[in-house]
Amino acid sequence: MTSRFARAAGDPYRYGVYLRPDPVTCAAVTAVTGQLRAQYGLVSAGAFPPHATLVGSRHITASADTIKDAVTKGISGIRAFTVYNAGIRPQGIGLVYDVHHLADATTPNQAFVDLAAAVDEAVAPLMASAPNPDDHHFDPETFQAHLSLASHDLYERPDLREEVEEYARGLRVDHPDRFPGNTVTLYRTRSDDWSGRWWHTLTWEHLHTWRLPE
């Protein structure tokens, strides 16, 4: 068995802890990803529920209750904050709604970074090694909060990158310029091959929601 298809305890599942936007922003994300799927067959961003990743694709063999308890303790005392949406921006090969910055669209939203760091610290002791995919390590210097609109598919079709951005902007989907960062969610994801084109077989299950106090 090659490492590409190797299995480890806990496979084929991974866990992610996300910040869920407000319903109107979620609807905007779904509108854009749905149109990109209908027009270009792009599925990776829309394979997930609309979210901003705090920690993602973590290989954990502990029970869901153990993860929930760890995150509950980790985010205790963290309060809700305002998230600002600067609109569509390129990020890597893909496109995102930029929700990383304050209203000036240049200063990082430290409350967002602090929340992600707290969640990472909570789940890090539960992580288990796996032959695939590569470990996802949190780095506050490189963390970029975002809502994915187009992502991994464009590694397969880089020739569509500029056209997809033009199309997404042309949709003129309205979205709030800010929303309360008060909803944290835990999801369990599954794929047949985490080292390959996982987005073609991805399924997910919502496990828990936390509400941050105002």
Name the DSSP class of 200: G
**Any domain includes 8:** no
Phi, psi at 6, each rounded to 5°: -65, 150
**Any domain includes 11:** no
Residue 9: predicted pLDDT: 59
- Which amino acid belongs to residue 180? P
> What mean pLDDT comes out for the span 135-162?
91
Q: What is the DSSP string of 96-145?
A: EEE-SB-TTSSSB-HHHHHHHHHHHHHHGGGB---SSS------TTT---
Please classify residue 144 by burial: count the beta carbons closer than 10 Å to its beta carbon, then call 0-12 exposed, 13-18 middle and 19+ buried. Answer: middle
**Any domain includes 3:** no
Residue 2: predicted pLDDT: 43
Number of domains in the chain: 1
**Any domain includes 80:** yes
* Of 31-45, 153-167, 183-197, the least confident: 183-197
**Any domain includes 192:** yes
Residue 138: predicted pLDDT: 81
* Of 26-30, 140-144, 190-194, the least confident: 190-194
**Any domain includes 91:** yes
Total-model pTM: 0.91
Q: Quote the tokens at residue 211.
A: 């509400």
- Please determine, for residue 146, whether its predicted confidence score (pLDDT) is greater than 90: yes
**Any domain includes 176:** yes
Structural domain including 182 reads 16-211
Residue-wise pLDDT tens digits, 152-178: 999 999 999 999 999 999 999 999 999
Rg (CA), the chain: 17
Helix (H) or strand (E) holding 190, with range, is strand 183-190
Residue 193: predicted pLDDT: 79
**Any domain includes 99:** yes
Nearest to 108 by CA among 151, 148, 76, 140: 140
Query: Which CATH number goes with the domain that contains 169?
Result: 3.90.1140.10
* Of 6-15, 70-79, 113-122, the least confident: 6-15
Residue 4: predicted pLDDT: 46
- Please determine, for residue 90, whether its predicted confidence score (pLDDT) is greater than 60: yes
Residue 86: predicted pLDDT: 96
The rounded mean pLDDT for the chain is 91
Q: Quote the tokens at residue 125.
A: 């002791």
